[in-house]
Structure formats: structure tokens, C-alpha cells
A and B are shown apart, each in its own frame.
Chain A
């Protein structure tokens, strides 16, 4: 049904997206916490910077990543000198592009969840003998879980569909950076490829539907638990 090449494309897309979301999750959580609870000068600036990838054209993000991670760039040069590693033309670069584009969505979802955590519950836990870190892990984090799960699903969906920043930053290398959207784009560049395009597009639709269904099922589960009285 699907050719080996097509499976390889799906595999690459999933690899890039899973790595991107896994790497971004702690960063997104930290930023969400900072923005939800922190009171410090420059908070609005941090908020704006986090949301930049949502509003800037993806090509611009890709270009900025190129400047930063290119051979002569600040991060790229450092990576090259200290680790002998480059992310240009590599799947790791594609993951970085996907991560940057997914970050604002994940931060928003987690932040919403953190803001609904009743801080008085945290106070109650403190009076029962829990220090700040224990309160975080036993109260705040579990109660933010719905937002974290939403962030993961949103992040995955966004990453799988990421195109503009990826193709600008790490180009279109089969097996390395040619994720599903890029594969569809490549097929469109060549005459006579309609069959190929159709198959790849169907795969993309199936993946997106799966993400939506998962998100809906999770939302339902939390709603149901709300009625019987517990979260999770």
C-alpha cells in the first residue's frame, strides 16, 4: 500500500516531531510558569518574544535560524568548534525549526493550565509540611497536567505540519529533512506526480485527524473526571 520511501518519510516526520516536542516541553513549561507566576521587569518582552514565531512569517524564522546556526553563526560556530557538529541539512535542524514554531502554542496551553491551579491549595500543602519543590511536584504539576497534554498534542500537530521555517533553515534533503510537507512540496515540483502527492496528502490528513481525535478524547476524559470529582 505504502512504498518503502513513503514509510521512510512518515518515520522521519514522526522522529523530527517527537524530538522537537520532547525537547521543547520543559522549556515551554518553564516559560509558561515564568509568565504565569513571575513578576519581573521585561515580562511583557518575554511574552512577546515567545509569541514571535506565531506571527512572523515562517520563512523569516527559518532565516533567523540560519543566521544563528550557520557555520559562521554564533550558535552554529560554537557547535562546530566544541562538538564538531552542524545542524544544517540535518534532521536535528528540522527538529529545531519545528520546535521553535511549536513553542508559542505549547507555552499558551500550559500557561492556561498553570493559571487555573488554585494557589491556595499550594498554601495548604505548605502548612502540611511540604517545601516549595515538593508542593510543585505533588500539587502544581499534577494539576497542570491537562494543559501539558494539550501542549504535547498541539506541539506534535504543529511540528508535523511545519514547512516554511524548515525548508528555509535546513533545505529539502531526502532522508534528513524532507518531512511530510516538504515531500509533498517536492512532488509538486515535478510533472506527473499527482499520484504521489495524493498519497502523501492522505497520510498528512490521517495524521492530523489522529491528533485531533486524541486531543478530543483527552478533553473528554478530563471532563468526565470532573463530574466524578477527580482529575486524572
Chain B
């Protein structure tokens, strides 16, 4: 099982409860905005603590009774909806941020290959603020890949992009799914997107108990 997730958490007035177990490839978390999909990603990344449950990815337990790995040890490559590049570092240093912190055995992709793969070689010296949405998103993906993750979390990465950029990034993500063979958990509210990219789909509606999956 790539993603074995069973968590519940009360967030404000909302009760979020999700359970799913899916195989390799790209798993889409699909549902309307506000259903708590981002919170699920945050729980898997270790940025939000579930009230109860367990989380295991590719056999490794990240959260359970008595286990709660801090985010820096979970080796999740998290691509946020708004890129979240560090404004006080240039693109090159953003890319290398996680790479520096991963040790030899964890790094499975090199700097040149990543830059090539994403087509961002000409952006290395730029400041994040000066990048377009599509460029920033590609750098964010590169940064996540370079940290040597065991899996990827993607939170609506195409949401803030225009059509040409969406197509561009969708292609990149398709290639990551096919060529780099990382388990990917992909959040989206766009059915078309999901149908194009997903190997498995998990539907999440407002605060539902069990999510159905195909």
C-alpha cells in the first residue's frame, strides 16, 4: 500500500475524518473546496496533528499510537498551491534548500537532472518574487524533488495558473508519475485534472467518514 491513511481531526467547527488505502502511482484526493483536503495533506506531512488514527506511506508508519514523526523526518515532498518559495533566497538556493539537508542515500535525483526535467535552468539566478505563477510552481516542484522525498504531496498545484501554464505543469506531473515513479498524493477539485492524472481516486465530501475509492 502506498498510502494507508486513517485520520480524524476537529478543526474549528469542522470535523474532518478520512480513511483510504491506495496503491502505487498518483492518488487523487478529490472533492469540493473547503472539504478539508489540504488539512489531510498537512496531517500526512506532519504540519497538523490528527486527533486519532494512523498514517503510513510505502510501509513506513508516520503517525500512530505512540508514533509521531516530526515533519523533517517524514521525507514528504510537499508542493503547495501558492509555491511558498523563500523570498529571501534566489531560485537556486530555494532549490538546494532541501537538497542540503538530505544525506547521500536519500538524494535520488541530481540538481542538473531536476533543473533539466523542469526546464528552469534560465531561472536559477532570479528572485522568487519576479517569477510568473507557472515558473514559481515549477521551482517549487524542483525544490520538493531535490529534498530526496519518498513521496510527493501536491495541493491543487494548478489552481492559481492560467490555461497554458496548467497544461505545462500537468505534463510535468504526468512525467514525474511515469518516469520518477514516486507515490503522489494529489489534491484537486477539478474532475478533468483528476481524470487525466490519477491512477486512483479518493472522493472527499464535507466531513465524511469513509471515503469511497476506485
A binds B: yes
Chain A interface residues toward B at CB < 8 A: 118, 120-121, 123-131, 134, 138-139, 142-143, 226, 228-232
Partner of A125, one of B46, B86, B153: B86
Q: Which residues of A contact B102 (CB under 8 A)?
A: 129
Partner of B47, one of A127, A139, A226, A231: A127
Choose among B45, B71, B98 the residue with the greatest number of A CB atoms under 10 Å from its CB. B71
Partner of A230, one of B46, B98, B101, B127: B127
With A126-B47, A229-B128 as given contacts, are A139 and B71 in contact (CB-CB < 8 Å)? no
- B88 near A143 with CB under 8 A, answer yes
Interface set, chain B 87-107, CB cutoff 8 A to A: 87-88, 90, 97-98, 101-102
- B46 near A126 with CB under 8 A, answer yes
Given contacts A143-B88, A230-B129, 18 further A-B contacts (CB under 8 A): A120-B84, A121-B86, A123-B45, A123-B71, A126-B46, A127-B45, A127-B47, A127-B71, A127-B74, A128-B147, A129-B98, A130-B72, A226-B129, A228-B127, A228-B129, A228-B130, A229-B127, A230-B127
Chain B interface residues toward A at CB < 8 A: 42, 45-47, 70-72, 74-78, 80, 84, 86-88, 90, 97-98, 101-102, 126-130, 143-144, 147-148, 153
Q: How far is the CA of A123 from the CA of B72 in the complex (A)?
A: 10
Q: How many A-B residue pairs have CB under 8 A?
A: 77
- A131 near B72 with CB under 8 A, answer yes
Q: Which residues of B contact A131 (CB under 8 A)?
A: 70, 72
Q: Which residues of A contact B129 (CB under 8 A)?
A: 226, 228-230
Q: Closest B residue to A142 by CB, please name it.
A: B88
Q: How far is the CA of A127 from the CA of B77 in the complex (A)?
A: 7
- A231 near B87 with CB under 8 A, answer yes
Q: Which residues of A contact B42 (CB under 8 A)?
A: 123
Q: Closest A residue to B126 by CB, please name it.
A: A229
Shortest CB distance B78–A (Å): 4
Q: Which residues of B contact A120 (CB under 8 A)?
A: 80, 84
Q: How far is the CA of A88 from the CA of B108 in the complex (A)?
A: 64
Q: Which residues of A contact B77 (CB under 8 A)?
A: 127
26 A-B pairs with C-beta separation under 8 A: A118-B84, A124-B78, A124-B84, A126-B46, A126-B72, A127-B45, A127-B74, A127-B77, A127-B78, A127-B147, A128-B72, A128-B97, A128-B147, A129-B98, A129-B147, A130-B72, A130-B97, A134-B101, A139-B86, A143-B88, A229-B126, A229-B128, A229-B130, A230-B87, A230-B129, A231-B87
Q: Closest A residue to B83 by CB, please name it.
A: A124
Q: How far is the CA of A123 from the CA of B97 in the complex (A)?
A: 13
Q: How far is the CA of A138 from the CA of B93 in the complex (A)?
A: 11
